[in-house]
Amino acid sequence: MSQGVRKTHQHRSRQTRDKLLNALEKLLRQKDFADIGVAEIAKEAGVSPASIYRRFDKKDGFIAVLFDLYLERLSEWVSSPEAQLNLEGCDLRQALHKVAAGAWIQLQQQTHLLKAIYLHGRKHLDLLGEKGDVFEAGMLMAMQGIIALYADDVKRTDHDKSARMLAYYFNNILIERGLFKKQTSTWADPLSDEEFTVEIAEFAYGYLIVADA
């Protein structure tokens, strides 16, 4: 009997957690994480504020759960036909164009989650635990794969360092435009999203084909 009660309780707890997460995600599509209150999340989810505090000691506790959700979405996207990069017949330059365009699409789909994670997760790295390391390792591995595939065309001698610089470059320049376009410089404003991804791919290509000084 007690086992059945425990399973029922766990199921209800999971349902409440999902309601809260769905409510927060809906609100994040409308406003920034900092502008969303606990009472607002509870109202949107149709639960009491006490339900939140039983699961999270404060609102920042949502950050780790949002990161879990983002990693889940990222995993789904990587497995989708949309994310499969067909590099057959592509040279290094063309491959980088495809990488930039694909990364931009994925970021655009999850901007609402990434903005909350990026702004508030960095202030509370302890909430993310090892999840951030897993994300960075995955991105680094992708860059290492591109460089290994086109090793004969890459003129940089230290391929590991080059992969790290590429991962850093792509991650930060995409985030800068994707998450904060209205709050930063207007230098790239005349460029469409397609033109923007082409240009950042060109920067990456130029870096890789120039020999070390």
Can you list the domains of the chain with their CATH numbers?
Answer: 1-55 (1.10.10.60), 62-209 (1.10.357)
Q: Which amino acid is at 149?
A: L
Residue 38, SS3 per DSSP: helix
Taking the whole predicted model, whether its pTM rises above 0.85 is answered as no
- Residue 18 tokens, joined: 């999902």
* pLDDT (tens digit per residue) in 157-190: 999 999 999 999 999 999 888 887 766 667 767 8
| pLDDT at residue number 24 | 93
Place of tokens 């680094």: 140
Cα dist from 21 to 49, 112, 151, 202, whole Å: 13, 13, 43, 39
pLDDT digits (tens, 9 = 90+) for 87-100: 999 999 999 999 99
In order, the DSSP letters of 99-118 are HHHHHHHHHHHTHHHHHHHH
pLDDT tens digits, 16-71: 888 999 999 999 999 999 899 999 999 999 998 888 888 887 788 888 888 888 88
> Is residue 1 very low, low, confident or very high in pLDDT (cuts 50, 70, 90)?
very low
